[in-house]
Amino acid sequence: MVTTGPGLPPSTIEAFARGLYFVAACDGMEPREEDLLRNLLRETGATVSLEELSKGVFGPEDLAVALETSFLRRIFIRAAVAMVKADGRFTDGERRALGEIADAFGMSNREFGELEQEAARVQL
């Protein structure tokens, strides 16, 4: 398996990017969200572009399959919440998308709420 140095394998990075794109695009991607995604792709050396993320179907169940461990799933939820709150708005569409992902991950409402509160304190 090819990895990006000591970090995550390319398939995991792509799953993160596709999942974040799913959440950000659910109600129209804001410029701040797009910038954060482009930075993620660039800084991780991802082999997929932002334009490629918009093609194809990728949803919560796909993300749950790609991110197998609770550790990766928790990191994803924190990153997604921090990303959507970075523009100062947390829309109903984004809440629904994150709820669908939390359900696919098998997270309880309590666990998701705790992660959401932790992520809300992160400044991107």
| pLDDT, position 3 | 39
Say whether pTM exceeds 0.75.
yes
Average pLDDT, the chain: 87
The number of folded domains in the chain is 1
Q: H helices within the chain, ranges in order? A: 10-25, 31-44, 50-53, 60-66, 70-85, 92-105, 109-120
Looking up residue 51, the CATH number of its domain turns out to be 1.10.3680.10
Q: How confident is the model at residue 19 (pLDDT cuts 50, 70, 90)?
A: very high
Residue 43 structural domain: 10-120
Task: End-to-end CA distance of the chain: give it in Å, rounded.
Answer: 31
Q: How confident is the model at residue 2 (pLDDT cuts 50, 70, 90)?
A: very low
